[in-house]
Amino acid sequence: MSFARKLPALLALLGLASCGFHPLYGSQGGQEPAIASRMDEIDIGLMPDRSGQVMHEALERDLQRAGAPKFYRYHLAVSYGISVQVIGIQPDSSNTRNRYFANAHWVLTPEGNRGLAIAKGNAQAMDAENIIDNQYFATALDGGTMRHQLAREIATQITTQLAIYFRSHPDKG
């Protein structure tokens, strides 16, 4: 690649550096920012069903990056569910395509006072799967993968919303 083709990318990187761009909650110069350490102190509430367990694991991966904390300062309650809409129907009334909607409503409270909401929000994600005739195993495998992807997307949205909250409220806690 010639220098003339590399120049716009180099200028874009310099522009980002000069505008003060920095990660929202990631490591910065080897130092763990305060936002990440506060998110590591969140106790994630229990969620029913297998989809709730998958969501809980996805949130643990995002929030508790340093492992289980020594103490919890916050409690995160998440109401999570997945609904299905049939969008492909054969003449014999069998379905050929399903659309899945994942919705979550979350509330962050202080650990000692779970009745006081200090932050709350919603997250949504959508995915779809094709139903292949006489391929039950493949359909079941695709459905499991899709449910994990939905949980990852919702967990990422919740983590981002929490990081934004902690950034805008640095002295709360």
Per-residue pLDDT tens for 120-136? Answer: 999 999 988 877 765 65
CATH code for residues 31-168: 3.30.160.150
**Strands (DSSP E) along 10-137, which ranges?**
42-44, 74-89, 95-110, 119-130
Determine the Cα–Cα distance for residues 90 and 102; give it in Å rounded to an integer. Answer: 25
State the pairing for strand pair 119-130/95-110: antiparallel
Residue pair 165/109 in contact by the 8 Å Cβ criterion: no
Alpha carbon of residue 38 to chain centroid: 17
Query: Which pLDDT band holds residue 119 (cuts at 50, 70, 90)?
Result: very high
Q: Which residue has the higher pLDDT, 67 or 106?
A: 106
Interhelix angle 49-63/136-168, nearest 10 degrees: 40
Q: List the domain boundaries for the chain.
A: 31-168
Q: What is the pLDDT of residues 42-89, one digit of tens each?
A: 999 999 998 899 999 999 999 987 667 778 999 999 999 999 888 877
pTM beyond 0.85: the answer is no
Q: Which residues of 81-93 are buried (b: 16+ CB within 10 A; e: fewer)?
A: ebeeeeeeeeeee
Tokens of 155: 């967990």
